[in-house]
Structures are given as structure tokens and as C-alpha cells.
Amino acid sequence: MKRILLACVVASCVLAGAGYAGVIVSTHSPVWAPWCLAMGANGAVMSLMALGASRRGTLAPALRWTFLGVFVLCAVSFGAALAMPANEGAAAPLLFGFPERTAILLYGVGVVPMFILPFAYALTFDASTLSADDLARVRAAHHALSPDERV
Amino acid sequence: MPSLLLQSALPALAQPTIVTVAVGYFLVVAAIAVWATRRMRSASDFFVAGAGVGLFTLAIAKTAATLSGFAFIGGPGLVYTIGIGAVMIILPGALTNSLGAWVLAKKMRLLGEVRGLMTVPDAIGARYRSRAAQGLSAVAILIAVVGYMATNLLALGLVIDAVFSTGLGAGIWMGAAIILAYSVAGGILAGLYTDVFQGSVMAAASLVVFGFAMKSGGGLGHISHTIMAADATYLGPWGTIGPMAAISYFFVFSMGSLGQPHVIHKFYMLRDPRQLKWYPVLMTIALAAMVLLYISVGLAVKALVVQGALPPLTSADHATPTFLLHYAPSMVAGLVFSGVIAAIMATVNSFISVGAAALTHDLPKAFGRPVTNELFVGRLTTVGLTVAAAAVAQVSGTLVAFLGIFGWGLFASTIVPALAIGLNWDGATRAGAIASIATGLVVTLLGETLRYFTVYSLPVGVTVSGLSLVASLLVFFAVSLLTRANAAQEIDSDIRVVMDA
């Protein structure tokens, strides 16, 4: 699992790099460059989050679905904002106070994840991040080291 | 990157109520500083508050240090100028607190536990068993810290001048003197507890002003329709800066959040690592409260200008002061300006701590000559750094603008790969870390210098910071993969225990 997540982080960074390279080497901004950067940035954040949450080579199933779900949500939000035709004129319909494309992006990337990720962290903390036993193990392992090894 | 803080004079704010609230604020800060000074005993107290801080204190202090005065002055001004594109700077806030929790919080806190570490370069040095990596990251931090501090002190001087009519020079030195007084005496301990007070002021101010902003514009829907009638692109998802520049902000401010030393070193300070459980929830609530002003004031002022209720602003930095002077009671204006002063002081105090630690602790350690009395030398370097930054702020406005621009990007590109990924991947190597830090330093400094002197700018508003971050990440992976033969042997056994925890 860790290798897959690491590969996702690397692939996402390459994708973001391709987006930057696209605008630097071409005389105009290619249509695909913002797509690369959006998906690369989203992928890098979510896969790095998953890499940090993985323990002993595995990722708890609840977290696996959480990260995948938030990644898809953000990807769809960015994708919709990039793909939908601009419709922000005077009579444009509003969604929760903003033009539709903007609302999808702001609420999809900036609001909904606020109600998912922090609670996923808290609810899986004992089982998947740091239990009292885990902490005791770290302290015991530290005390078991020789003074030289502790540095 | 936009300039993250104000650099032009604000409208005069010297009204009795505003001055009274601001004076009251300074008195509270002074009282907290005196209390914290009495509790300080050691270098550990001075730099990491003796690792004895509770979660609520940590969360509020980290949010206050993260946002700076940018959230209240520069940010609304940027929203007023470029529209929704500016929101992409704070949009990652929905993700970054959880990102930091999963990627860094536990590991940093446990590193503090097993090694007694105090700084971010400490962690990099320990992870790779490398004094070179520790020293190089300390150099990068020091360069960015001086620039950031100078920018913040200039902003503080401008606000103090606007509130107390002191003149800019006197405002800068007054602000520096107040921060110095509590930083030298109480170190990060005083900074933390003043941050809690300051963060609470910021959150309260933001919530109240959000209400006034919505009321002044007739609600969000009315504000949007008013603006869209005049400028269709302004409220589009990328504002007036286009998708590439806007998404570049998202990339830099999301991934880059893992490399801000004045924020992440606070993980060492938490009393009990198990308190981290509710860290992202608390941080997200605090951040959400504090950014309401950022969005609402920028949009409300734009709508009011479009309607003709306000004249067009002569400087984007005037968005918040102009709004408050026209549409909020002076008590609220006083609260907000105290919040601005609070935010800037919180950030400067954190930078002082990080910079002093780099000079006192990391660089001597990297050269194999650790300082014996770190508390005393830490206090001396605190004074030296602050005086140097204040002098830079006063002497050269354009230099300050230049220095302040690349701070976030320099932190991100030099620290994120080596620390955030390195602590989660045992295949990362010493060579990869050093190469990525060097890449971040060179690309950021070179790119920003070329841009500043108008020799070369990246197209379509793309930031140097984004390019340098992605370059340092790719170099980190490439060099680590090429030199991975001995990667596992480069990790000390106690660091391995922390990485596997």
C-alpha cells in the first residue's frame, strides 16, 4: 500500500510539473496545463495525506474510502470549474450565493472536506494513528535503546 | 506571489474609541508577557515552551501565527482586486489542517519526545543523520525569516501609524520594541499565550465583521449580482487571474503548509501527543472563523464600489479600513485593528523564535560547535534579528517588498520534501534531502530575483513558488531513487521507531 501511495505522490508531482512546463515552454497557455496542475495538486495533497495515515504498510479501510472520496470530490469540483462554460453574467443563476462554477469549486474543495477530514482523523485516531499502547511502545522502544543509539 | 502584507499607508484611524481599544489590547499583551516571563526557566521553555502546551492553546496559536495580518488587510485587498482567484489562497485550509495532522503532527511530536528536538532543521538533521541537511535548511529558514519579519514589521508600523499617528518610522520601532519586550523576556512561551489572546481577538473580529459585510451589501446573493453586472470574470472560479495562476496558489498554499517552520515547530510544544486527536477539528473551526472577514470584506467593498456607495480605492490595502470606517461601529473597527496588530505580532514572534533558533541552535550544531548557554544567546540573537529586520523595514520599502514575497515559497520548497515526505518514506536519502533543499533555495531566489528586476516572469501569472516547490519535490524523488542503496542504513533506530509508530 505504501508503495502505491508513494507512486501516487510522485505521479501527482510529475503531473503538476507537466502543467508548469506546459505554460513555460509554450507561447500560450495550453488548455491541458491547468487540468494537469489541478489534478496534480489535488492528487499530491490527498495521496500524501494517505501516505501519512498509512501504518505498517496498510491503510485502514475507513480512511481508504475517505481519502478516495475526498479526492474524487475535489477532482470533480476542479474539473467542473474548468470544463463548464463561463456563465457569470448579470443574470446568471446563483448556487448558495455564488455563480454555479464558482460555487461548485468553493463548496466542493473549500467547505465539504472541512466536515469530513478532521472528523475522520478524530474518529480513527485511537485505532489508526496513536493509541495509548502505541505511545507506550514508542516510549519503551526509546528507553530500550543504548545511550549511543539515542544520540 | 502577491505581496502578502500591506505596504502602503492606511487611512487615518486615530479615533478615540479605536485608540482606546488598541491601548487596552497592548495592556493585556503586556500582562501576559509578564506572567509568561515568570514561568520561563530554560532554552526549552524559550524555544518550545517546555513541551507543556495544551491542545486549545496550540490550535489557536498556530492559527494566529499562520494567518498574520494578511487575513485582515492584504487578503481582503487581494479579493477586492482579483476576485475569487484570491480565495484560492485560503481554500486549501479545508484540507491543510488534516494534511498536517496525518503527515507531520504525530511524527514531529514523537521526535520531540525521543530526541528532545526543538527546531525544524533539528528534525531534518535527525531524520537523515546529516549536519549538512540541518545547516542548509537553517540557512533557507534564516533568509526567509528576515524577509518575512521585515515585511511584517513594516505592516505593523503602518497600522500603528494609522491608529496612533506616530509616523511610520516610529511605528515600526514601537512595534518592534513591544514584540522584543515579550519575546526576549518570555520567548515562545510569552508568544504562545499572547497568540491565544490574539487569536481569540482575530476570530471574534472576523465573525462580527462578516455580519456587517453581508448586511452592507444586502446579502451574498445581492453582492454577487451587483458585481457580476459590472465584471463577469471577477466572480468566476479563477477571478481575474485565470485558472493557471489561481490553481498555482492552491498548490503552493496546500502543499506549502507542510513547510512553514513557525507553524509546524509548534507540534513539539504539545504536552500530550494523544491530544492530537481533536487537533484538525479545532484548527479547522479556528481557521474557518478567521477567514470569514477575508472573503466577505473584499467582496462587499467591491460591490459597494460598483454601486457607487464607496469611491474606488486608491490602494487595495484600504479595503478593510475603508469598510470599517464607513460600515462598522468604531468599537468594532478598534477590535479589528487590534486584531490586525495582534496577528502581525503573533507572526513576528513566531518568526523571531524560529530565526533565533536557527542562529543559536541549528547553525552552530551544523558546524559542530553547539552553543553552551542557548537561553542567553537565544535572547541576544532575538534582539539582533529584530533590530536588523526593523532597520531593513525602515530603510528600504522596495527591498522589504522583495524579501517578503518569497518567504512562503522558500519555506515550502526547502522543507516540504525533506521533512514532510522524508518522515513518511524510508526510501528518502540524505543526498535527496540536500539536493531538494538546494534546488528550492536556488530556484526560488533566482526566479524571484529575475522577476523582481523584470528580467523574466513566468507566463500567465504563474508563481515562482509553485515552480520551485514542484522542482524540489521532483529532485528529491529522483535523487533519492538514484541513491537509495543505503537509504535504510541512514535512519537511526529511534527515528525508525517514530516513523513506524
pLDDT tens profile B111-157: 888 887 888 999 999 999 889 999 999 999 988 888 788 878 888 88
Which residues on chain A are in Cβ contact (under 8 Å) with B251?
A: 16, 37, 40-41, 44
Q: What is the pLDDT at residue B401?
A: 57
Q: pLDDT exceeding 90 applies to what percent of chain B?
A: 33
Mean pLDDT across B191-212 = 83
Given a cut of 50, is residue A41 above it in pLDDT? Answer: yes
pLDDT band at A150 (very low <50, low <70, confident <90, very high): low
Asked if the Cβ–Cβ distance from B102 to A145 is below 8 Å, we say: no
Q: What is the pLDDT of residues B360-385, one digit of tens each?
A: 888 888 888 887 777 788 788 888 88
pLDDT band at A151 (very low <50, low <70, confident <90, very high): very low
The verdict on residue B388 lying in a domain is yes
> Among A109-123, B184-198, B483-497, which range has the highest average pLDDT?
A109-123
Any idea which of A36-40, B358-362, B493-497 has the lowest mean pLDDT?
B493-497
Mean pLDDT across B316-343 = 83
Q: What is the pLDDT at residue B102?
A: 95
Q: What is the pLDDT at residue B442?
A: 94
Higher pLDDT residue, B347 or A102?
A102
Q: pLDDT exceeding 70 applies to what percent of chain B?
A: 91
Mean pLDDT across B411-431 = 93
Mean pLDDT across A25-36 = 88
Q: How far is B115 from chain A (nearest CA, A)?
A: 7
Domain of B367, in residue numbers: 16-394
Among B2, B3, B6, B1, which Cα is nearest to B340's? B6
Which residues on chain B are in Cβ contact (under 8 Å) with A81?
A: 237-238, 243
Distances (CA, A) of B193 to A14, B150, B176, B178, B198: 42, 23, 18, 15, 9
Which residues on chain B are in Cβ contact (under 8 Å) with A41?
A: 247, 250-251, 254-255
Q: How far is A65 from chain B (nearest CA, A)?
A: 15
SS (H, E, C) B5-53: CCCCCCCCCCCHHHHHHHHHHHHHHHHHHHHHHHHCCCHHHHHHHHHCE
Q: What is the pLDDT at residue A114?
A: 94
Mean pLDDT across A111-137 = 91
Please tell me the distance from the alpha carbon of residue B46 to that of residue B184, in angstroms, as a whole number: 9
Q: What is the pLDDT at residue B150?
A: 82
Residues whose CB is less than 8 angstroms from the CB of residue A97 and which lie 6 or more positions away in sequence, other chains included: A103, B219, B220, B221, B223, B224
Please tell me the distance from the alpha carbon of residue A119 to that of residue B201, in angstroms, as a whole number: 26
Mean pLDDT across A16-24 = 93
pLDDT band at B255 (very low <50, low <70, confident <90, very high): very high
Residue in A closest to B425 by C-alpha: A6
Asked if the Cβ–Cβ distance from A114 to B288 is below 8 Å, we say: yes
Burial of B229 (0-12, 13-18, 19+ CB in 10 A): middle
Asked if the Cβ–Cβ distance from A138 to B84 is below 8 Å, we say: no
CATH code of the domain containing B350: 1.20.1730.10
pLDDT, chain B, mean: 84
Mean pLDDT across A39-49 = 96
Q: What is the pLDDT at residue B113?
A: 82
Q: What is the pLDDT at residue B152?
A: 82
pLDDT band at A105 (very low <50, low <70, confident <90, very high): very high
pLDDT band at B486 (very low <50, low <70, confident <90, very high): confident
The verdict on residue B368 lying in a domain is yes
The verdict on residue B425 lying in a domain is no
Residue B96 C-alpha cell reads as 491543510
Helix residue spans in B218-278 (DSSP H): 220-230, 242-255, 261-264
pLDDT band at B186 (very low <50, low <70, confident <90, very high): low
Q: What is the pLDDT at residue B51?
A: 60
pLDDT band at B13 (very low <50, low <70, confident <90, very high): low
Given a cut of 60, is residue B397 above it in pLDDT? Answer: no
Spatial contact of B256 and B93, defined as CB atoms under 8 Å apart: no
Q: What is the pLDDT at residue B413?
A: 92
Please tell me the distance from the alpha carbon of residue B47 to that of residue B32, in angstroms, as a whole number: 17
Cα B131 → chain centroid: 26
The verdict on residue B359 lying in a domain is yes
Which residues on chain B are in Cβ contact (under 8 Å) with A23?
A: 244, 458-460, 462
Any idea which of A15-19, B294-298, B395-399 has the lowest mean pLDDT?
B395-399
Q: What is the pLDDT of residues B40-77, one digit of tens each?
A: 666 666 655 656 678 888 888 777 777 766 777 778 88
Q: How far is B19 from chain A (nearest CA, A)?
A: 36
ipTM of the complex: 0.94
Mean pLDDT across B307-313 = 91
SS (H, E, C) B328-388: CCHHHHHHHHHHHHHHHHHHHHHHHHHHHHHHHHHHHHHCCCCCCCHHHHHHHHHHHHHHH
Distances (CA, A) of B295 to A19, A60, B276: 28, 36, 29
pLDDT band at B12 (very low <50, low <70, confident <90, very high): low
Asked if the Cβ–Cβ distance from B497 to A141 is below 8 Å, we say: yes
**Amino acid (1-letter code) at residue B324:** L
Asked if the Cβ–Cβ distance from A99 to B224 is below 8 Å, we say: yes
Please tell me the distance from the alpha carbon of residue A77 to that of residue A92, in angstroms, as a whole number: 19
The verdict on residue B490 lying in a domain is no
Q: How far is B87 from chain A (nearest CA, A)?
A: 8
**Total domains in the fold of chain B:** 1
Please tell me the distance from the alpha carbon of residue B298 to that of residue B216, in angstroms, as a whole number: 12
Residues whose CB is less than 8 angstroms from the CB of residue A59 and which lie 6 or more positions away in sequence, other chains included: A1, A5, A50, A53, A67
Residue in B closest to A120 by C-alpha: B98
The values of phi and psi at residue B103, to 5°, are: -85, -40
Q: How far is B336 from chain A (nearest CA, A)?
A: 24
Which residues on chain B are in Cβ contact (under 8 Å) with A44?
A: 251, 255, 473
The verdict on residue B410 lying in a domain is no
**Amino acid (1-letter code) at residue A38:** A
Mean pLDDT across A41-45 = 96
Please tell me the distance from the alpha carbon of residue A116 to that of residue A122, in angstroms, as a whole number: 10
The verdict on residue B419 lying in a domain is no
Among B359, B434, B417, B309, which Cα is nearest to B139's? B359
Asked if the Cβ–Cβ distance from A23 to B492 is below 8 Å, we say: no
